[in-house]
Amino acid sequence: MTEKSTSQYTREEYQQIRTVSIDVLKEFIRICDKYDLGYFAAFGTAIGAARHQGFIPWDDDIDVGMLRVDYDKFMAIAPQEMADKYDIYSAPIQKDIKGFYAQMFLKDTLFVTQANMMWQRHTGIKIDIFPYDNIPKSKGERKKLYKQLHFWNRLYIIRNTKVPFFAENNLVTKLTRTICKVAYVVMEICGPSIDRIIAKYVSLMTKYKEDTKVYTVMDDLTQDWWYLKREEIFPLKEMQFEDIKVKVPNKNHEILTRQYGDYMTPPPKEQQRGHDVVILKGLKE
């Protein structure tokens, strides 16, 4: 095992990261298949499957989605079912990790990006597992729900990091940092506890129990951008991804076109970059 700080990977490092990520994905799929849990490739992973039959050449992680009912079953089963060499982090469990979704990773590895440096806890080389929750049909109801989610999400971030990560360093972000510092001090004195923040956020994510047949990732600032309809998802189909088959939504092309436009055409060269990694640990010499 080696530890290094890096902003760019060598080709060999990229391949090792992907190999580890695929091993984690295989374990995830094994559990899902054993317990008949539905999942599907999402975001860049879905693009990679369609355009490259594997990773996007400059990408370095894997994203999958699950409807809430399957996600909750997986989260209850996985800790006892998965091999000892894997672990799962999520905000409702550890309470000091970024993300109200599951991050399943290989133990004894460490994968820290610039955006995550302020957090107390970090995962290793991983896959991200996103729960898709029911959303209301009314645009007004959705707007109200998303506003509440954003508020409690900000409280969670400030409670854990004091000052969130901002890529820019202009006057607006400097002012925002100051406001966050003040908010942190106020919360330390009389604000809601981390347990209350988490409970409120999860209750909002799962507020709509009835199957509305339209779902999205609630832990995001642009929820309506990522919505999926039941008839678009099912029946799931398989596509090649590196050396394995992964499940994707039945209308994968239509979904990706709506979300990304002409996703089959790679972006300009200057936009072809992975995460800004600060610490990478666990690769072979």
Tens of pLDDT, residue by residue over 252-270, are 999 999 999 999 999 998 8
100 & 239 share domain:
yes
- Scored b (16 or more CB within 10 A) or e, 106-128 reads beebebbbeebeebeebbbbbbb
Asked if 131 and 145 sit in the same domain, the reply is no
Q: Which of 35-44, 101-110, 152-161, 235-244 is least confident?
A: 152-161
Structure tokens at 171: 């006057």
96 assigned to some structural domain? yes
User: Quick check: is 150 in a domain?
Assistant: yes
pTM, entire model:
0.91
Look at residue 278 and tell me if it is in a domain: yes
Domain shared by 51 and 152, yes or no: no
- 162-220: pLDDT as tens digits: 665 555 666 767 676 676 667 667 777 777 899 999 999 999 999 999 999 999 999 98
Q: From 247, 205, 267, 257, select the one nearest 36 (Cα to Cα).
A: 247
Q: Which CATH number does the domain housing residue 232 bear?
A: 3.30.460
Q: 250 lies in which domain range?
A: 2-135+212-283
Looking at residue 200, its pLDDT comes to: 97
| Whether the predicted pLDDT of 132 surpasses 60 | yes
Residues 13 and 106 in one domain: yes
Note the pLDDT of residue 9.
67
Q: Are residues 159 and 220 in the same domain?
A: no
Q: How many domains does the chain have?
A: 2
**Average pLDDT, integer, range 231-240:** 98
Give tens-digit pLDDT for 21-53: 999 999 999 999 999 999 999 999 999 999 999
Residue 204 lies in a domain: no
146 has a pLDDT exceeding 80: yes
Ranges 127-131, 144-148, 189-193: which has the least confidence: 189-193
What pLDDT sits at residue 1?
A: 38
- Distance between the two ends of the chain, CA-based, in angstroms? 7
In this prediction, residue 44 carries a pLDDT of 96
Average pLDDT estimate for 113-135: 92
Per-residue model confidence (pLDDT) at position 27: 97
> Which helix (H) or strand (E) element contains residue 134?
strand 126-134
Residues 95-112, mean pLDDT to the nearest whole number:
95
Residues 102 and 232 in one domain: yes
Residues 66 and 83 in one domain: yes
Residue range 102-130: average pLDDT?
92
Considering the domain architecture, whether residues 35 and 108 belong to the same structural domain is answered as yes
- Are both 61 and 181 inside the same structural domain? no
Are 96 and 58 within one domain?
yes
Q: Which residues pair with 89 in a beta bridge?
A: 103
| Mean pLDDT, residues 66-79 | 98
Same domain for 38 and 171, yes or no, is no
Same-domain check for residues 143 and 127: no
